[in-house]
Amino acid sequence: MSKLSRQTPPSTRKTPFRLTIVHPCVGRFANMKRYIRTWRMEPIPAAVLAALVPADVSTAFYDDRLEPIPFDEPTDLVAISVETYTAKRAYQIASEYRRRGVPVVMGGFHATLCPEEVLQYCESIVIGEAESLFPTVIDDYRHGRAESVYRSVERPSLRTTPDRSIFHGKRYLPLRLVEFARGCRFKCDFCAVQSFFDATHRQRPIEQVVEELHRVRRRGQLVFFIDDNLTSNLEQAKEMMRAIIPLKLRWISQSAINVAYDDEALDLMRRSGCQGLLVGFESLDPQTLQQMNKGFNLMHGGPAAALANFRRHGLRIYGTFIFGYDHDTSSSFELAERFAQEQGLAIAAFNHITPFPGTPLYRRMEQDGRLLYDAWWLDDRYRYNMIPFRPKQMSPRELAERCVKARRNFYGWPSIARRAMHRVNFRSPWMLLNFLVINAMHQWDIEGRNGLPLGDANWHGELLKATHERRRLVHGPV
Ligand code: B12
Ligand code: SF4
């Protein structure tokens, strides 16, 4: 009998019960000393899971990006959050535990959007948000009646406050990550968020967010609202911003461009302490924006008009651009770089598009036979910044090189100095200092991430596959 099938007999409750939550890294070079600096943020999914665990279950948490995982430490169940980029490392970690007879449950974006694959490397997966299901998963494991697939039927109400005590003693970036809402109403074809949440958006109770902010705020530290689109519901976002004005915070977040045309919202942002906003410009080409289903970026005068409005309200912008759509040529890079410089963007990202499984973009590339790997995220030849598909107007190599070149230009010292001269970036010594530190960190990370293997290059075992003979599906089929 395999160790894994030695489970507690039905209806005997396993007490005490020990849960280990692991947050995997994307990957690691064989000789890597320190993980990618700008990615070392508190993993909120782990803290949400910890908050959902019953009080009589002891919880350990290990962040693979910051510390070695003690695989031999006794535990009854391991929970791992899986994103597409972290899938391979998640499977390596799972294999270590499963080889020792410890069952593993996986959840998160990749588990939800690619369940058939993820299920091969663990005992159970959770499809969707954890809030309504994770307590059941724990209870089922304690009673030896675990299922293979747990699927959330509808979106849960977001009333759980993350248990950040699991982060004690770990060295994260000095940022306070807080969630206001989850999901987004738009349907950009490359975005895993719209696929995961089916273009729905749901917010937490504002008083709970305010209470959490009171508790987590630290002197001199920025709050990062991790919503993918903070203003997906503009009126709710305004209500939240009104409620946090008295807290006198400094915060950053991400938003779709449409907020730029609502003066009340911009005024509330400034008054509630917004220091900067990530806005997905993605492309300056109308045909490309149409293809990605993001034509709304051109409304009301488009990016330049939006940026003028942001500047008027003193809001600094982190603009993101993506390349590799069918109309993109080398001039698309030049246009975006020039725009980012001239507009004095505080930070900018120049990334190739990434076909994430489960997105319309992925399906289109797959149908057109343009994917270069069966599953790029698991392929040993694939590295961070490599292009996993065949672009129409340039080679994959050219696309990759142009993205890196655009980053090098943007984060070179001459560009940093020029952008620092834009008034919006030096409104106060504090802002200027932040601008310089963040730009220097990004400059550093360009080379650090480039060619990063997915999975830990130091790990040489076999990925252990699971057999799911008793594959009962809870709440419907995969
Ligand atoms: C904050 C954030 C970051 C932060 C850091 C996050 C961190 N703490 O390390 C930064 C800016 C550094 C970042 C970087 C990157 N990110 Co990011 N990030 C986010 C963001 C905006 C919020 C994540 C979050 O904490 N959400 C709140 C938690 C509570 O929600 P959740 O993760 O969905 O978890 C719920 C469920 O998924 C489920 N669940 C999750 N895990 C588990 C595990 C188990 C066992 C169970 C039962 C359930 C479960 O239950 C949770 C509660 O309901 C998401 C988008 C989003 N809205 O989620 C993108 C997102 C996760 N990032 C993404 C990407 C691609 C990246 C990068 C690769 C980008 C890049 N090219 O550089 C890097 C990779 C960094 C890494 N993994 O080390 C993609 C992932 C897509 C995918 N298919 O995997 C997302 C979805 C954005 C997008 N629009 O596509 N990111
Ligand atoms: S607006 Fe942003 S979060 Fe919303 S679907 Fe588009 S890319 Fe995703």
Answer yes or no: is 27 within a domain.
yes
Strands 149-151 and 473-474, sheet pairing: parallel
What the block records as the tokens of 124 is 């159970």
Report how far ligand 2's centroid is from the alpha carbon of 193 (Å). 7
User: Which runs of consecutive H residues, i.e. helices, occur in 159-205?
Assistant: 192-197
113 with 191, same domain: the answer is no
Please tell me the distance between residue 83's alpha carbon and the centre of ligand 1 in angstroms: 7
Largest CA distance in the chain: 69
**Cβ pair 131, 106 in contact under 8 A:** no
Q: Residue 435 domain-assigned?
A: no
CA-137 nearest atom, ligand 1 = 47
Statement to judge: residues 146 and 193 lie in one domain = no
Q: Is residue 458 part of a domain?
A: no
Q: Both 178 and 146 in a single domain? A: no
CB of residue 403 inside a 6 A radius of ligand 2:
no
| CB-CB contact of 32 with 165 (8 Å) | no
Q: Are residues 38 and 110 in the same domain?
A: yes
Which residue range(s) make up the domain with 341?
Answer: 174-427
Q: How far is the CA of 392 from the centre of ligand 2 (A)?
A: 24
Q: Which residue's CA lies nearest to atom 91 of ligand 1?
A: 39
| 445 falls within a domain | no
From 202, 226, 229, mutation site for ligand 2 pocket: most ligand atoms within 8 A of C-beta: 229
422: closest CA among 321, 350, 351, 347? 347
Phi–psi pair at 318, nearest 5 degrees: -100, 105
Whether residue 339 is found in the same domain as residue 208? yes
Testing ligand 2's pocket by substitution, the residue of 191, 233, 291 carrying the most ligand atoms inside 8 A of its CB is 191
Domain of 213, CATH number, reads 3.20.20.70
- Position in ligand 1 atom list of the atom nearest CA 112: 37
Distance 61 CA to ligand 1 centre (A): 17
pLDDT of amino acid 2: 32
| Residue 455, in any domain of the structure | no
pTM higher than 0.85, yes or no? yes
- H or E segment and range at residue 19: strand 17-23
- Mark whether 219 and 359 lie in a shared domain: yes
Same domain, 217 and 350: yes
Q: Kindly report the protein residue whose alpha carbon is nearest to atom 25 of ligand 1.
A: 44
- Two tokens, residue 123: 């005992």
Tell whether ligand 2 has an atom less than 6 A from the beta carbon of residue 134. Answer: no
Based on the fold, state whether residues 181 and 87 are members of the same structural domain. no
Closest approach atom of ligand 2 to CA 190 = 7
With beta carbons less than 8 A apart as the criterion, state whether 407 and 38 touch: no
Work out which ligand 1 atom sits closest to the CA atom of 254: 21
Q: What DSSP state is assigned to residue 156?
A: P
Same domain, 219 and 117: no
Ligand 2 neighbour 184 (Cβ under 6 A): yes
Residue 228 near ligand 2, beta carbon < 6 Å? yes
The ligand that comes nearest to the alpha carbon of residue 42 is 1
Q: Kindly state whether residues 91 and 180 are assigned to the same domain.
A: no
Mutational pocket test of ligand 2: of 188, 195, 321, the residue with most ligand atoms within 8 Å of the beta carbon: 188
Cα 335 off chain centre by: 27
- CB-CB contact of 253 with 315 (8 Å): no
Give the single-character DSSP code of 26.
S
CATH number at residue 122: 3.40.50.280
Inter-residue contact 161 to 135 (CB < 8 Å): no
**Can you tell me which atom of ligand 1 is nearest the CA of 162?**
29
What is the total count of domains within the chain? 2
Examine residue 359 and state whether it is found in any structural domain, yes or no: yes
Q: Are residues 350 and 375 in the same domain?
A: yes
pLDDT at 12: 67
* Same domain, yes or no: 231 and 282: yes
Distance 186 CA to ligand 1 centre (A): 18
Q: To 10 degrees, what angle do helices 234-244 and 206-216 make?
A: 40
Q: What is the DSSP letter of 228?
A: S
pLDDT, position 112: 97
How far is ligand 1, taken at its centre, from the CA of residue 407, in Å? 23
Residue with tokens 């430490």: 73
Give the separation between CA 206 and CA 200, rounded to whole angstroms.
18
Atom of ligand 2 nearest to the CA of 256: 1
Cα 392 to Cα 395: distance, rounded to the nearest angstrom: 8
Ligand 2: atom nearest CA of 187 is: 5
Residue 436 lies in a domain: no
With respect to residue 460, please indicate whether it lies within any of the assigned structural domains. no
Q: Which residues of 350-364 are buried (b: 16+ CB within 10 A; e: fewer)?
A: bebbbbbbbbbbbeb
Residue ranges around ligand 1 (CB below 6 Å): 26, 39, 41-45, 48-49, 79-81, 83-86, 105-110, 113, 126, 129-131, 134, 179, 182, 191-193, 226, 228, 356
pLDDT tens per residue, the chain (478 residues)? 233 333 444 456 777 899 999 999 999 999 998 998 889 999 999 999 999 999 999 999 999 999 999 999 999 999 999 999 999 999 999 999 999 999 999 999 999 999 999 999 999 999 999 999 999 999 999 999 999 999 988 888 888 999 999 999 999 999 999 999 999 999 999 999 999 999 999 999 999 999 999 999 999 899 999 999 999 999 999 999 999 999 999 999 999 999 999 999 999 999 999 999 999 999 999 999 999 999 999 999 999 999 999 999 999 999 999 999 999 999 999 999 999 999 999 999 999 999 999 999 999 999 999 999 999 999 999 999 999 999 999 999 999 999 999 999 999 999 999 999 998 888 888 889 989 999 998 998 887 788 999 999 999 989 999 877 645 444 443 3
Ligand nearest to the CA of 123: 1
CB 193 near ligand 2, within 6 Å: yes
- Atom number, ligand 1, closest to the C-alpha of residue 184: 57
Structure tokens at 399: 């696309």
